[in-house]
Structure 1
Amino acid sequence: MKHTKLYTILATIALVSLTTGCDKLLEEKPKTTIRVGELDPTLLEQTVIGAYEPMTRSRGRLWESTVGLGFELMSEYADGGSVQSAWSNYNNIMNNPNAMQQPYTTLYEAIGRANGLINRLDENTTLDNALKQKAYGEAYFIRAVCYFFAVRTWGRLPLRLKPVITPADVPLALSDAATVYAQIITDLKFAETALPPTVNAANAGRATSGAAKVALADVYLHMGDFTNARAKAKEVMDTKATYGYDLETSLATVYSPALATNKEDVFSLKFSQVVDRGGFLASYYADSRAKQAGFSVSGNKFGGIISVAPLIKNWDDNDQRKKFSLYTNYVINGVVTAAEIEPGIYDVRLGKYKDPNAPIDTGNGNDFYFWRYADVLLIFAEAENKLNGPGAAAYEAINIVRRRGYGVSMTAPSALADLPAGLTQTQFDDMVFRERGYEFIGECKRWFDLVRTNRAAKEIGDVRAAISIPTRKPVPNILLFRLPDVEFQNNPLAQ
């Protein structure tokens, strides 16, 4: 069974010991912060663990639940079906100010805890400096990761860098995206110098300097700063042994519900096969025969995949990722049985996350990845091509990922897996975009890729033209969510 330390031990003490900025933001009259004495090494450890907790708590979750599901259903190739139809109508949900209120408040709770930890460390005069530096690094990493998601989701938002302790701390003007990105970079640059290169398996899920570097590469990529994106990805590639990074040969290892971590894992939210300590994704996507079919203890049928979407329609059957991630039937008691679909809406199920041995639907052990080593290679391939065209280095980076996908040697050229030679810069860029779709299907990256590459209207339009109910995929007239009402109700400077 997976290690569960990060999200189970001493949670109550961790909660009381922190300033929880977002909690206070949601109250008309924020109370003063509850504090528990001077930090010692034990309390510091508990407090750091508490700063991670909002991202992975059971119910009221941030990425793994509402966002991990919703943003994947906003991909051009997915549909929420009758149960989650709201996520398919971009224009309605993104113009609804409260569609993302729960993730928003949970996000700011994590930011508030990171800020509270930083404040406690600033005040402390007794802890060993090495312990303080590592804790600072984790706090800045958590804050940066949260704001990276936030800026891509809402754009302008309050950039809270101090704890909310009194009512006077609540009013704060919104910052523009450029200002938020600048702070994210500052935080991650500090984190990459303060964090250790690795953590042991018992602490899997804790930030490392390698994770901070990969996060920086992704931030630069989303900003269109290909020079720095390439440089940071290349730095990680050149020193991958320092961080223990590489591609796993087996997809089953990468997505195992039982393993604590693997060498491809850069940073992920950790879930375990324990009641209310696991993830939901295996159950979300499976159908009513989930247990018999070997996918999950139960199935919710929260959407599926559209086979006529160009990305899916053109997916090579020889690519093992396709069979691993998608299915139309399964074997029950020796009988091939068609999976449950919604005709005219979606006709393929997403099976990337599998845990039939989970004790309950809140106990699926599949982790939720923010970054894998595959991210590093594909970030490098995209940025290198943007800067220098499709040379040998860009080809090799993407082809390594493709070779793993096709189940061939990752170190030798492959006529089956490798991209054709002679692609133009534009063609190669399209291939990287396509490859990211195949590699990261189900991992909540596609919507952000559609937006940052200015492909949203075209890709969604192509699917709209192919499906029988075009209204299921309206061309988006908005690419950022509206801030929820709770921000405007409590923050008089949010304009």
Structure 2
Amino acid sequence: MKKLTYLATLAGSMLIATSCVDLNQEPQSFISEEEYISTINQESLEKAVSALYNNLWHDNYGFNSRIQRIQVCADEITYRAAKPGNELAYYDQLSPNIGANTADFDTSWELFYFTIANANKLIYFAKAPSDATEEEVTKFNSVLAEAYFMRGLSYFYLVRMYGNVPIIPENGNETTINCPLSTPEEVYNKMIVPSLEYAVTWLPETPRSGNSSTPTKWAAETCLADVYITMAGWPLKKEEYYAKAAEAAKDVLDHNEYHQQEANYEDLWKETNKNNSEFMFCLHHSHANKVMASNYGKSYYPADFYNKKEEKARNGWADYYARKEAFENYPNDKRKKWNFMTEWYSTANNNQIVQWQDSPDGLPCISKYYNYNQGNPGENAQANGVTCIYRLADAKLLYAEASTRATGSVNQDALDAINEIQKRAGYEDANIALTTTTDPQAFLEDVSKERSYEFFAEMRRWFELVRTEQVSVKRAETWNGSFFQTQGHYYFPIPSAQILLTGWTNNPGY
């Protein structure tokens, strides 16, 4: 393994990366990385674990960008057709292209395995000091549990995106190119579920960092519920896991005292309130401090945007728009006004206001993250804010769905869970009926709709449509003849470099 000349560098930058190259190098040093990690103290462990969140972020166009891009396959966001050679068109047509979309696959594969490899090193080598008290050992293990959480989460994304993927040994002596592909079921049973179970056992009930930048026990248990409900759907279809998902989500709802539902939906997405307790686990961004900046800057503004306050053109990149149907079918509740920009000053209209229908691209904009732009709409490519991976609303809707699928009936707790979200959205004030049906199929349809409204543009929708096999229904206009339809799966291609180096067989059709 790679050796470190100066131990001080490890505490700050943490661990070496893993990729498709051989890491078994032997530069000279005084002590091995493994030896250093095995004697790591509490403070250094916390710094090392915190570096895993940078690994997951990867760069400005890493996790935050790549996971959003694949959501164009789903039914809530779309792309700018007027942009020449826009690679997102392949996702819109449900036909990913191994060449045109290669940066998405290369980047996501690398960032997840980078995170896994570094988490593995900590899990395998880091040990509490031999003279530590029981209390100190518990504290040490609670921090180490963050590495387990990050490993489980990373594998979870990998199997949903790529299907068969390699399992990397904890000892760090092998890389992806030295390992065979494992089936999704093997990865779930050997890595994802055990990692998250450990995290649930050892993570604290309140975040180490004081905010959602580090996960709690409840974040891990919500992720575990998400894992179980996914195992119950496509491709494993092990329906017995619906009960496990319901049990995990219900435990979060019944016993968590830290994560509480924010009173106002829009306050979730304000920079000044991004440390609210409803967020369970997020990547925290800071453009100003150059710490894990997000892609919420120009990507979400229209190509013809004019900043009236500055009297200056701030043309956005228009990477993402809302789908017309998603906007038109969205209930007229409090969330809709916050989530969509329907008019703006336009350079294509002599710097005067244009309605979305009359704009050059003819689509409504996604305004959910606009408050993250430091008060300068459209000025910067990167922005502040958070990328929310789990929040309390996830646990509520996971429970509502999983309990109904597990029992074939709708219980009062499930109704309460969805109603709490609907009431915050202002259904009653807007004379929109709350969900009251106890018909299982009608209720599940309401839950799916509510999830699409509540988590609009939060990078969840594609994974839901895949596990419930609803892509052909929600994207019916494109389904027939699409790549996913003809190949009979929903996976993206394993990066070409991995295939060339390993001789693996790629997913069908690539």
Q: Same fold (TM over 0.5)?
A: yes
Secondary structure of 1:370 counterpart:
strand
Specify the alignment match of 1:31 in structure 2. Answer: 25
Find 1:488's aligned residue among 479, 489, 499: 499
Q: 1:200 to 1:115 in 2, by over 3 A?
A: closer
Question: Please, what TM-score do these two structures have when normalized by structure 1?
Answer: 0.83
Q: Deviations over 1:16-56 (max 9, x none)?
A: 54253x24xx2256425962833122322221111221122
State whether residues 97 and 482 of structure 1, in contact with CA within 8 Å, keep that contact through their aligned partners in structure 2: no
RMSD: 3.4
- Report how far residue 402 of structure 1 moved: 0.8
State whether residues 19 and 116 of structure 1, in contact with CA within 8 Å, keep that contact through their aligned partners in structure 2: no
Q: 1:260 to 1:322 in 2, by over 3 A?
A: closer
* Pairing 1:404–2:418 present: no
Once residues 313 and 340 of structure 1 are traced to their aligned partners in structure 2, the CA distance between those partners, rounded to angstroms, is 12
Once residues 30 and 473 of structure 1 are traced to their aligned partners in structure 2, the CA distance between those partners, rounded to angstroms, is 39
Once residues 150 and 402 of structure 2 are traced to their aligned partners in structure 1, the CA distance between those partners, rounded to angstroms, is 25
| Runs of at least 5 residues in structure 1 that lack an aligned partner in the other structure | 1-9
State whether residues 73 and 79 of structure 1, in contact with CA within 8 Å, keep that contact through their aligned partners in structure 2: yes
Specify the alignment match of 2:457 in structure 1. Answer: 442
Once residues 380 and 100 of structure 2 are traced to their aligned partners in structure 1, the CA distance between those partners, rounded to angstroms, is 29
Find 2:249's aligned residue among 233, 236, 250: 233
Once residues 476 and 207 of structure 1 are traced to their aligned partners in structure 2, the CA distance between those partners, rounded to angstroms, is 40
Secondary structure of 1:92 counterpart:
coil
State whether residues 74 and 462 of structure 2, in contact with CA within 8 Å, keep that contact through their aligned partners in structure 1: yes
Secondary structure of 1:31 counterpart:
coil
- Report how far residue 356 of structure 1 moved: 3.6
State whether residues 216 and 232 of structure 1, in contact with CA within 8 Å, keep that contact through their aligned partners in structure 2: yes
State whether residues 154 and 481 of structure 1, in contact with CA within 8 Å, keep that contact through their aligned partners in structure 2: yes
Specify the alignment match of 1:304 in structure 2. Answer: 321
Specify the alignment match of 2:331 in structure 1. Answer: 316
- Report how far residue 135 of structure 1 moved: 2.6
State whether residues 249 and 398 of structure 2, in contact with CA within 8 Å, keep that contact through their aligned partners in structure 1: yes
Secondary structure of 2:390 counterpart:
strand
Q: Deviations over 1:304-327 (max 9, x none)?
A: 1222x2x4432222x111111112
Supply the AA of the counterpart residue of 1:447: W
Q: 1:431 to 1:209 in 2, by over 3 A?
A: same
State whether residues 297 and 356 of structure 1, in contact with CA within 8 Å, keep that contact through their aligned partners in structure 2: no
Bigger relative contact order, structure 1 or 2 (CA pairs below 8 A, ≥6 apart): 1
Matches within 5 A, 1:413-452: 416-419=432-435, 421-452=436-467
* Pairing 1:173–2:180 present: yes
* Pairing 1:112–2:117 present: yes
Specify the alignment match of 2:288 in structure 1. Answer: 274
- Report how far residue 369 of structure 1 moved: 0.8
Find 2:263's aligned residue among 231, 249, 260: 249
* Pairing 1:13–2:6 present: no
Q: Deviations over 1:243-300 (max 9, x none)?
A: x122112123211123341121111111124153321124311124265489x98721
Once residues 261 and 476 of structure 1 are traced to their aligned partners in structure 2, the CA distance between those partners, rounded to angstroms, is 45
Once residues 426 and 451 of structure 2 are traced to their aligned partners in structure 1, the CA distance between those partners, rounded to angstroms, is 15
Once residues 441 and 275 of structure 2 are traced to their aligned partners in structure 1, the CA distance between those partners, rounded to angstroms, is 36
Specify the alignment match of 2:51 in structure 1. Answer: 50
Once residues 11 and 86 of structure 1 are traced to their aligned partners in structure 2, the CA distance between those partners, rounded to angstroms, is 46
Secondary structure of 2:158 counterpart:
helix
Find 2:161's aligned residue among 132, 153, 163: 153
Q: 1:147 to 1:297 in 2, by over 3 A?
A: farther
Supply the AA of the counterpart residue of 1:41: Q
Once residues 229 and 16 of structure 1 are traced to their aligned partners in structure 2, the CA distance between those partners, rounded to angstroms, is 36
Question: Please, what TM-score do these two structures have when normalized by structure 2?
Answer: 0.81
Once residues 120 and 341 of structure 1 are traced to their aligned partners in structure 2, the CA distance between those partners, rounded to angstroms, is 58
Specify the alignment match of 1:6 in structure 2. Answer: none
Specify the alignment match of 1:214 in structure 2. Answer: 222
State whether residues 19 and 113 of structure 1, in contact with CA within 8 Å, keep that contact through their aligned partners in structure 2: yes
Secondary structure of 2:185 counterpart:
helix
- Report how far residue 417 of structure 1 moved: 4.2
Q: Deviations over 1:344-380 (max 9, x none)?
A: 9752111111134267635412201111111111111
Q: 1:94 to 1:323 in 2, by over 3 A?
A: farther
Supply the AA of the counterpart residue of 2:301: A
State whether residues 298 and 316 of structure 2, in contact with CA within 8 Å, keep that contact through their aligned partners in structure 1: yes
State whether residues 72 and 92 of structure 2, in contact with CA within 8 Å, keep that contact through their aligned partners in structure 1: yes
Specify the alignment match of 2:192 in structure 1. Answer: 184
Once residues 208 and 174 of structure 2 are traced to their aligned partners in structure 1, the CA distance between those partners, rounded to angstroms, is 39
State whether residues 80 and 86 of structure 1, in contact with CA within 8 Å, keep that contact through their aligned partners in structure 2: no
Q: 1:325 to 1:137 in 2, by over 3 A?
A: same
Supply the AA of the counterpart residue of 1:268: C
**Alignment: residue pair count:** 463
Q: Deviations over 1:420-475 (max 9, x none)?
A: x44521111111111111111101111111111110011101x559xxxx999996
Specify the alignment match of 1:370 in structure 2. Answer: 389
Secondary structure of 2:425 counterpart:
helix
State whether residues 305 and 346 of structure 1, in contact with CA within 8 Å, keep that contact through their aligned partners in structure 2: no
